């Protein structure tokens, strides 16, 4: 497991997402209801960048910008078909930094 220092918390405004390179991967990090969530950035449907999606359902889901597939921010699971899930990553705020473990 490697820690990646991504940004300062204020660099991802509440209600938005940003994409970060973490080693070989591109990870989307979302700021919703004061918490940060990280998951694979590539939508399982046709590969849209999830970081450009809309946080919905009171901050509990992320909706793909292309065709609206919606994933739970806590679990990464598709809300319609939970067998489909975006890979989740651990993310935390420590010493004024957003840190991803992957």
Specify which residues 96 forms β-bridges with.
Answer: none
Which CA distances in Å does 11 have to 16, 28, 63, 72? 10, 13, 21, 22
Q: How far apart (Å, rounded) are the C-alpha atoms in residues 24 and 80?
A: 29
Does residue 43 belong to the site contacting ligand FES (CB under 6 A)?
yes
Residues 6+ apart with CB under 8 A from 53: 17, 62, 63, 64, 65
Instruction: Out of 46, 74, 93, 101, point to the residue binding ligand FES (CB under 6 A).
Output: 46
Instruction: Out of 66, 79, 87, 102, point to the residue binding ligand FES (CB under 6 A).
Output: 66
Q: How far is the CB of 76 from ligand FES (least distance, A)?
A: 14
Does residue 48 belong to the site contacting ligand FES (CB under 6 A)?
yes
Instruction: Out of 45, 74, 81, 92, point to the residue binding ligand FES (CB under 6 A).
Output: 45
Kindly state the number of chain residues that form the binding site for ligand FES, as judged by CB under 6 A: 9
Contacts of ligand FES in 67-96 (CB under 6 A): 67, 69
Q: How far is the CB of 101 from ligand FES (least distance, A)?
A: 26
């Amino acid at each position: 497991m490697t820690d990646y220092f991504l940004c300062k918390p204020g660099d991802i405004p509440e209600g938005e997402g940003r994409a970060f390179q973490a080693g070989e991967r591109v990870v989307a990090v979302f700021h919703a209801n004061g918490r940060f969530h990280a998951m694979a950035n590539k939508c399982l449907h046709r590969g849209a960048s999830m970081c450009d999606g809309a946080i919905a359902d009171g901050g509990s889901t992320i909706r793909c910008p292309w065709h609206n597939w919606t994933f739970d921010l806590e679990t990464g699971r598709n809300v319609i078909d939970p067998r489909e899930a975006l890979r989740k990553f651990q993310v935390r705020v420590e010493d004024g930094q957003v840190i991803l473990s992957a």
